[in-house]
Amino acid sequence: MLLFMLTLAVSWPSMGQQRTVKGTVLDSKDNTPLAGATVQNRRTHQQVQTDEKGAYAIAAQPGDLLVITHIGHKSLHLTVGNAEMYTTQLDIAEGQLSDVVVTAMDIKRNPRELGFSTQTLSGKTIQETQRENFVNGLQGRVAGLSITPTSGQAGASSTITLRGFNTSGVNQPLFIIDGIIVDNSTFDENSNSGTTLGLASDRPNRTSDYTNRIADINPDDIESITVLKGPEAAILYGSKASSGAIVITTKKPALASKLRLSYDDAFRMQWINRFPKIITDFGPGTNGTPSTTSFTDFGPSLPASAQTFDNVHHFFRTGFAQTHNLEGSFGTKASAFRASGSYFDEDGAVPNNNFQRFTFRLTNNTKIGKWVDLTPSATYINEVNTVPTRGSGGYYQDLLVWPATNDIRHYQDASGNRTYALPAADPSVEVDNPLYNTHTNFNKANTYRGIFTLGADVHALSWLTLSGRFGYDTYMTDEFDIYGPQSSQLVSIAGTLTGAYNLKGALENSWMKYHDYNHTIYATAKKKFGDWTVSLVGGTTYEDAEHGTFSVIGTQLISPTRHDSSNTNPATRQRLLQNYFGKYNVSIARNLAYFGQVNIGYKDVAYLSYSQRLEETSIVPKANREYNYPGGSASVILSDIFPAMKRGDWVNFWKVRGALANSARLPDPYLNQSVFGNNYASATGLAYSYGFVNNNPNLQPERQRTYEIGTELTLLKNTLALDVTYYNTYCYNQIAQNARESYATGFVLNTLNASSLRNQGLEITLDINPVRTNDWNWDIQFNFNHAWSKVLTLPAAIGPLNDYYNSDDFVTNGARGGFVRGHSTSTLTGWNYNRNNAGQILINATTGLPEVNQTFLPIGDRNPAFTLGTLNSIKYKHWSLSFLWDLKVGGDIYDGTDMILTEYGRSPRTADRMTPRVVKGVLDDGLQNTANPTKNTIVVNPYLNSTNYYGETTGMPDEEFVQHNVNWLRLRDVTLSYGMPQQLLHKLRVVKSLNVFCTANDLVLFTNYWGPDPAVSGSTAATRGVGGFGYDYFNLPTPMQLNFGLRASF
Amino acid sequence: MPYVMKKYLLYIALFAVSCSKKLDDAYLNPNAPTVVPIETLLPGIIGSMVGASSTTGVSGGVAGDALVIGRYIQYWGDYNGQSNASYIYDEMGGPAFTSATLATIWNGFYFGQGQNLNQVINWGSQQQKWDYVGVALAIRAWGWLELANEYADGIIVREAFNTNLQQFDYDPQSLAYDTCRDVCFQALAYLSRTDGNVSATNLAIGDAFMNGGDVNKWKKFVYGILARSYAYLANKAVYASGDYADSVIKYCGLAQQTNDDNTTAKFSGNVNVSGNNSYYGPTRGNVGGLRQAAYIVGMMTGQNPTFAGVFDPRAFYMLRMNLGGTFQGITPWLGNGPGGGFTTASGDPNFPPNFWGNTAAPQSASAPSGATTGTLDSGRYLFRNNAEFPLMTASEMQFLLAEAEYRKGNKSAALTAYTNGISLNFDMLTQKYALNVPSDQAITPTSEATYLAAVTPAPEDLTLSQIMLQKYIALYGWGVQETWVDMRRFHYNGNLDPVAGTPVYAGFTPPQGQYLYINNGDSLVYRCKPQNVEYTYDIPSLTKIGAMNLNYHTYEPWFNQN
């Protein structure tokens, strides 16, 4: 609608008399009418829009070319003949072929003129994947976009990265819905000793998980998604979009349309079908000596008569989920409404894991007089997520180390007390029974959210439009995290881990609130001067975002089942700093910006764009507060400049483009003011001392210089479309937040502008349409991505071989994600073997075991060599089949699960423990660096020396657990659907369309990974920097899912 | 329309101005204070002198390192001998470069006190609270000396507390000594001021758990620091010629004279907050695995040749009797393991219980069940949750005086100081540390007099050995760093008493052979490596002073040299 109004304002009067041509535009997928499609007569430039029946009428004469466009669909060219009625089916656009792209600031532009690469996906495609968190449906569909789900649990958060990692701060893109900034944060549990947002327990983002907030959006409300990967996003959206932007356009009601209802549902079953290999051949003990007090399986072999249980299979259940969506719309000539409601309820494959979401959305489209268009919307969301404790010490670890001779199903005695596997019944020795763990230790978060948007466009003059986008996004989360009074689970309190049984249980209650008001007000002017088209955009944007948390943790539970904060001993309660005064800890960020853009087009074949943005933020001190950055882009349609090349239909279209921008990136608020925290020394009243971090008053925003060049080619009668992009991003003046330094600063950590890195990549999208007949259509899209990066500088305090790391990524003792100069940003650093100058492993001359170097050196790189998403879409009459293969080649994974299982004697690598061996290496005997080092000949028997041989610090450092070059090929989503033919539906009268479908997720996985699933993450999406991807630490594998459902409209 | 547009533009402009102001409003951190009253900073700074708890302060203070250094000087050792992961310290080894052991003085000085103390000076000066400024400087002076004594030349003096630096240069130990004295004189000047907003009542808010707002006690503490700073240079030629010894005598005369003057850290003992409790108490649980060493037990039970046959009634206050009814101590590197002199690995009635008196299971690292808090606190002496922790005592000053007079040849003055030192220590025990002492073993004037008579020679017969050993006893448990300075000055058992002809530290046997840590190369331990974080971020400086060498901890410090 907006598009219509905008373009109407700049359309030229028609020239001469023609007859009226009528037509209908349908969605090729299910033959549903497409309302709001734009039909333009290329000769007269007149354009009209389809109504709710998909119908249009336009003046044309035979030979005219009509261009039919609809957001989210491929455009279609129709040559007018002698007929008066035309029925046109539009295909869903999977990539850049759409003829209208919603770019920054809700500005719709013709992709011809864009100097940068974008990819657009239709909402339908995303919805079809049946992913409750729609971002998971983006993986493989956009070149340069990668999604890392935190785990296979229902409601898990997902990390989204566009074009690699540019900062040790936040790397996730900005989300925009209808021109409004919408929050996608994941709750961050770190509270820096209670001084920031986070939890009173102040812990890394590794045990609980909270949904990333954009997953609140009902996929069914999405009309299309445009991914702005490169400089363009940053130019106009500013610092918040320096990692790109994901621009969502929602479904809007059409004016003058009849009442229309639609309903769809889906029922899903879910299974965990991949398990790590564990061995259960040995009994408890250490060093070959049996023990009844040990939880490690390094005792003698189990006798053949021993009864063992298939605990892993007894643990998981068949998950079940259902979705229902109901939608209705109608419109008068002046005003149209759309209402949609959805209900989603999922029981995950892990006991006590549940995710529920209810959404309701109301959209309006009102036209006031000739000039004003208003599009308000209101969305209400309620989400409840119950998640058992994951990761280190969570149920999955418990499950994998639980003795095979003990049946996990008997996890409670008659009086509800925990049962034990060992006779001593000592909670300090054994872990929880995994079923006991999931029922006793879990987190439940209840979120209420409202998103209100208002779009206003005033078509003041034929060449001038004033637009405003006003948004208010607010939510509250009420959450608790409980640890049972008998549990062995470690509880973090102020950074110290204590067994829950020692604390007599623990309960943390937290309340988070968020509100963000933002608006963008801008004017667009567009005019044609001869061969030149000039458009100017200028405006201002303002955002006021405020996060708050209130968090209380207490121990000594009064009741193991009550979840209110009064259930703990008041004397044990700890809070965030302001919570002691009854106030929330808050984080406020306000940004104000002015921007302008000039676009110049010459004869519709060459385009030039220049933008400038001036931004001010509350986050940095006044002296550094204003920053100013430019950007530009150019594109040239070579195939139109040299039309000769189009002869013979070999080349249909060829464009070259380039764009560059300089932008900034902001740190968290308050990083420039050192703060005092509570000090617990004896005092008569409150006592304070500085926290660990020196917050730097001279901090400046990070800067980023980026450029991209690319080309688009359409070949062979439009059956083949190729888009190639190379980008190069240089990030400098980066803030090393919490960088470790000598204590001589007076602090433990420092904050300073000191680092830089460079990111480069090649993105190729290839669309092929090999079969196109009346009955058959087959589209294949390839999304290829090859990216590489290098850390250039780090704070001088960090030695040439040392790493800068984020404590969240420090998942196990001896491995973490770390930035090392000259290495990739996704480097893994960890404990390693001591080696001689020739690189041979040094062996202790008395024990015969390798020497472990407990300093963090690079031990792997998680960055893949390339990724390739292959999307097939096959249609035969009313049947359609689509499937997405996701290929990843290369990239290392640290298997911390195997490391722990090895120490427990459950890893297959310990199966041959009874075979004596000589560890390959040279003795550390003083000759190790001579020409003739002494070859190790000391025989060791791991069975008799299990503690040392398999120990992380004594025999097998973390280096040993890095699996290099892990590949995967997975069938992400496959959907088969059948749309009832119109003839049949006609008989049903009320039903306008009916579709039945079956979708499978993660059906097939081929991988060379040792563990069950290489799609792993050691931390949640709240983690900054590179995050936990490629870090396997008791990561629940992605479940396989089967969905069945139907879609009907009335 | 143009008019309407102008109006809109005006609105936009007004809006923008108000937005800009809103940015200013949001700049300041609403969650945590960036400025606090200095009265609330001092408790944490004092807490970091002994043993701060985690969260803020990362276990700073003397107590953490004392647990390790106490093994070097054989105050105690771990019950587990060679089976204990930390036995390398019983063997006089130094920690691995990556280890955070022996870093609590470093942590307390640079971080726990660090910028907090700087702000007391900074804001205190602005607020004219000169007493606070003086106290802060006194603590800083004390810190410089403790830091220098422990880490020798691996310390950062000139570049300390510069947040703009990313790497730091090390300074010689002598510079810290000079800086210490310089700061002492500044402290004295401020502590003497009565103008501005100086107020004993107000000082008592921050100083409640040290000197209770008494600036005179702080001054005595500062004089004591000065006395120590000269006393420790007894090996320097200039000491004997008079300068340093005279300074010791002078400052000892100005320092603590009575037990009431003692500088001790107090604890409120709230069991729910570990920082409210002594580092040695059962709530914080740090000393459970330690056992009294044979050397101190021998000295107090008449087995040391210097006090042969004399039982020290203080033993019931400071040490623990075993189930067999005797006082026994362990050889630190042997513990209850083979060769340790105890019959079985566990349950030997001769094996000493731990400092919290867990006799039920002598080989235990925990406190007796339930005996951890309040009146049930089973510890005695320093090993209670709310026991005062001395940082400097009048008794110690008398021993410094005794040594100085002795070296100057004033044997009679030395003897007076020597006996004063002993009886002040007796008094301190009876006044402050009588809890959980068997009632029939309480010190009486008679038992004190009997003991004093037995260890007091004629003035001309007084030996350096007697002075140093009585000082060794009087500083037991708390003056660990000071005793280590003393023992290093005498090269442990290396320096002979000029009169007795036996080692000054008579009867002291350092670990040797297979029990001397392998990296030591036959040398004893003389310094601590800089804190482990330096080994990641200050490698060029470490290399310059040899701190990357595996035997760095055996390098003798500057104060030892002539």
Judge whether residue B1 has pLDDT over 60.
no
A506, A487 contact by CB (below 8 A): no
The model's pLDDT over B166-183, given as tens digits with 9 standing for 90+, comes to: 889 999 999 999 999 999
As a whole number, mean pLDDT of residues A266-288 equals 91
Judge whether residue B5 has pLDDT over 70.
no
pLDDT of B3: 59
Contacts of B2 (CB under 8 A, 6+ apart): none
Q: Residue A656 to residues A108, A118, A494, A723, A724: CA-CA distances in angstroms?
A: 20, 14, 56, 10, 10
B358, B367 contact by CB (below 8 A): yes
Judge whether residue A30 has pLDDT over 50.
yes
Name the residue in chain B with its Cα closest to that of A589. Answer: B26
Judge whether residue A6 has pLDDT over 60.
no
As a whole number, mean pLDDT of residues A567-588 equals 90
Determine, for residues B533 and A193 on separate chains, whether the beta-carbon distance falls below 8 Å. no
Q: Which residues of A touch B44 (CB under 8 A)?
A: 679, 681, 683, 687-689
Average pLDDT, chain B: 92
pLDDT of A408: 93
Using pLDDT thresholds of 50, 70 and 90, give the confidence band for residue A740.
Answer: confident
As a whole number, mean pLDDT of residues B47-53 equals 88
A783, A94 contact by CB (below 8 A): no
Find the range with the poorest average confidence among A510-514, A703-707, A1020-1024.
A1020-1024
Find the range with the poorest average confidence among A39-43, A350-354, A504-508, B151-155.
A39-43
Determine, for residues A681 and B31 on separate chains, whether the beta-carbon distance falls below 8 Å. no
Name the residue in chain A with its Cα closest to that of B167. Answer: A797
pLDDT of A92: 55
How far from each other are the two terminal CA atoms of chain A, in whole angstroms? 22
In chain B, % of residues over pLDDT 90 = 76
Dihedral pair phi/psi, residue A10, rounded to 5° = -110, 10
Task: Report the alpha-carbon distance of residue A1020 to residue A850 in Å, rounded.
Answer: 34
Using pLDDT thresholds of 50, 70 and 90, give the confidence band for residue B250.
Answer: very high
pLDDT of B447: 96
Using pLDDT thresholds of 50, 70 and 90, give the confidence band for residue A7.
Answer: very low
Determine, for residues A588 and B57 on separate chains, whether the beta-carbon distance falls below 8 Å. no
pLDDT of A234: 66
Residue, of A220 and B187, whose pLDDT is higher = B187
Number of H helices, E strands in chain B: 21, 4
As a whole number, mean pLDDT of residues A712-739 equals 89
pLDDT of A180: 92
**Which of A590, A684, A686 comes nearest B22 by C-beta?**
A590
Residue, of B455 and A15, whose pLDDT is higher = B455
A454, A468 contact by CB (below 8 A): yes
Residue, of A295 and A483, whose pLDDT is higher = A483
The model's pLDDT over A673-701, given as tens digits with 9 standing for 90+, comes to: 888 888 888 999 889 999 888 888 888 89
A852, A870 contact by CB (below 8 A): no
DSSP-based three-state secondary structure for A284: coil
Determine, for residues A683 and B40 on separate chains, whether the beta-carbon distance falls below 8 Å. yes
Judge whether residue A668 has pLDDT over 70.
yes
Using pLDDT thresholds of 50, 70 and 90, give the confidence band for residue B7.
Answer: low
As a whole number, mean pLDDT of residues B366-390 equals 88
Q: Which residues of B touch A542 (CB under 8 A)?
A: 15-16, 19
pLDDT of A4: 38
Q: Which own/partner pairs from A556-565 qualify as long-range (CB within 8 Å, at least 24 positions apart)?
A: A556/A503, A556/A504, A556/A505, A557/A482, A557/A484, A557/A485, A557/A504, A557/A505, A557/A506, A557/A507, A560/A440, A560/A484, A560/A485, A560/A486, A560/A505, A563/A444, A563/A480, A563/A482, A563/A507, A563/A509, A564/A509, A565/A480, A565/A507, A565/A509
Q: Which residues of A touch B114 (CB under 8 A)?
A: 690, 743, 746-747
Using pLDDT thresholds of 50, 70 and 90, give the confidence band for residue A94.
Answer: very low
B296, B75 contact by CB (below 8 A): yes
pLDDT of A71: 65
Task: Report the alpha-carbon distance of residue B224 to residue B256 in Å, rounded.
Answer: 7
Give the number of other Cβ atoms within 10 Å of residue A948's Cβ. Answer: 17
Determine, for residues A587 and B54 on separate chains, whether the beta-carbon distance falls below 8 Å. no
Burial code (b: 16+ CB inside 10 Å, e: under 16) for B457-468 equals eeeeebbbbbbb
**Which of B23, B41, B533 comes nearest A590 by C-beta?**
B23
As a whole number, mean pLDDT of residues A195-214 equals 88
Q: How far is A291 from chain B (nearest CA, A)?
A: 19
**Which of A193, A618, A796 comes nearest B27 by C-beta?**
A618
Pairing of strands A676-678, A720-740: unpaired
Q: How far is B346 from chain A (nearest CA, A)?
A: 19
Find the range with the poorest average confidence among A576-585, A957-966, B142-151.
A576-585
Judge whether residue A1026 has pLDDT over 50.
yes
pLDDT of A652: 85
- Find how far residue A582's CA is from the centre of its chain: 34
The model's pLDDT over A411-429, given as tens digits with 9 standing for 90+, comes to: 999 888 999 988 888 888 8
In terms of Cβ atoms closer than 10 Å to its own Cβ (0-12, 13-18, 19+), residue A511 is middle
Burial code (b: 16+ CB inside 10 Å, e: under 16) for A903-939 equals bbbbbebbeebeeeeebebbbbeeebeeeebeebeee
Smallest CA-to-CA distance from A146 within A1032, A1035, A1038, A1030 is with A1030
pLDDT of A106: 65
pLDDT of A667: 86
Q: What is the DSSP string of A92-111?
A: BP-STTBS-EE-GGG-EE-G
DSSP-based three-state secondary structure for A629: strand
The model's pLDDT over A156-167, given as tens digits with 9 standing for 90+, comes to: 999 999 998 988
The model's pLDDT over B276-308, given as tens digits with 9 standing for 90+, comes to: 899 999 988 899 999 999 999 999 999 999 999
Q: Which residues of B touch A743 (CB under 8 A)?
A: 106-107, 110-111, 114, 531, 533
Q: Which residues of A touch B52 (CB under 8 A)?
A: 679-681
Q: Which residues of A touch B99 (CB under 8 A)?
A: none
Judge whether residue A10 has pLDDT over 50.
no
Name residue A930's amino acid. Answer: T
DSSP-based three-state secondary structure for B339: coil
Using pLDDT thresholds of 50, 70 and 90, give the confidence band for residue B19.
Answer: low
As a whole number, mean pLDDT of residues B219-227 equals 98
Determine, for residues A193 and B47 on separate chains, whether the beta-carbon distance falls below 8 Å. no
pLDDT of B494: 94
Give the number of other Cβ atoms within 10 Å of residue A297's Cβ. Answer: 27
- Find how far residue A933's CA is from the centre of its chain: 50
pLDDT of B84: 84
The model's pLDDT over A527-561, given as tens digits with 9 standing for 90+, comes to: 889 889 899 999 999 999 999 999 999 999 999 88
Q: Residue A108 to residues A1, A6, A708: CA-CA distances in angstroms?
A: 11, 9, 21
pLDDT of B57: 52
**Which of B31, B166, B272 comes nearest A195 by C-beta?**
B31
pLDDT of A14: 37
Smallest CA-to-CA distance from A689 within B212, B202, B58 is with B58
How far from each other are the two terminal CA atoms of chain B, in whole angstroms? 94
Name residue A990's amino acid. Answer: V
Q: Residue B223 to residues A976, B191, B394: CA-CA distances in angstroms?
A: 88, 12, 11
- Number of A/B CB contacts below 8 angstroms equals 243
Q: What is the DSSP string of A726-741?
A: EEEEEEEEEEEEEEE-
pLDDT of A98: 42
Contacts of A455 (CB under 8 A, 6+ apart): A2, A106, A178, A179, A373, A374, A375, A376, A467, A468, A469
Q: How far is B25 from chain A (nearest CA, A)?
A: 8
Task: Report the alpha-carbon distance of residue A262 to residue A324 in Å, rounded.
Answer: 11
